[in-house]
């Protein structure tokens, strides 16, 4: 293969399309490729441009929600609802919604307000539907 054909083939590979888009060189002629999201500049040139002109970053990099992000309020240490003992990561959350230490984790130790009996009855009724036989014709 001659060198002219090699250069043509090499040139086709360099300027080939990627995912349907043609590659564009940076408009500042720095040798890197730019994109439409960065005004046809490479990332380095776009960062310099945005610093000098106080331009916001492109919407591709901005958070998707338009609402301001609120920081969560700092919560105190996790404590048992009955004895106020610090439980940290070893706390037990009951079905009544409270956090308890290992001593008060059982429902009879902390005066639990959750109705276990009706919850169990509902679970059994849901798991075992009533089966009625089809009526038979009497002879």
Q: State the span(s) of the chain assigned CATH 4.10.1110.10.
A: 79-125
Nearest to 23 by CA among 11, 39, 35, 13: 35
User: pTM score, two decimals?
Assistant: 0.38
The pair of three-digit structure tokens given for residue 111, joined into one six-digit string: 């005066």
Phi, psi for residue 27 in degrees, rounded to 5: -70, -15
CATH 4.10.1110.10 at 79-125, yes or no: yes
Question: Which pLDDT tens digit goes with each residue over 54-106?
Answer: 766 554 444 444 445 444 444 567 899 999 999 988 899 999 989 999 999 99
d(CA 31, CA 92): 60
The pair of three-digit structure tokens given for residue 71, joined into one six-digit string: 């920081």
The pair of three-digit structure tokens given for residue 137, joined into one six-digit string: 């014709």
């Amino acid at each position: 293969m001659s060198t002219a054909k090699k250069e043509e083939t090499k040139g086709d590979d360099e300027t080939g399309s990627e995912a349907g888009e043609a590659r564009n060189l940076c408009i500042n002629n720095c040798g890197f490729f730019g994109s439409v999201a960065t005004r046809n500049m490479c990332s380095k040139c776009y960062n310099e441009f945005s610093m000098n002109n106080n331009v916001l970053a492109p919407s591709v990099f901005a958070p998707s929600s338009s609402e301001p992000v609120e920081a969560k309020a700092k919560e105190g240490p996790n404590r048992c609802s009955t004895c106020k003992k610090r439980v940290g990561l070893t706390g037990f959350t009951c079905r009544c919604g409270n956090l308890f230490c290992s001593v008060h984790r059982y429902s009879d130790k902390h005066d639990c307000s959750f109705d276990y009996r009706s919850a169990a009855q509902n679970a059994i009724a849901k798991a075992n539907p009533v089966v009625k036989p089809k009526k038979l014709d009497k002879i």
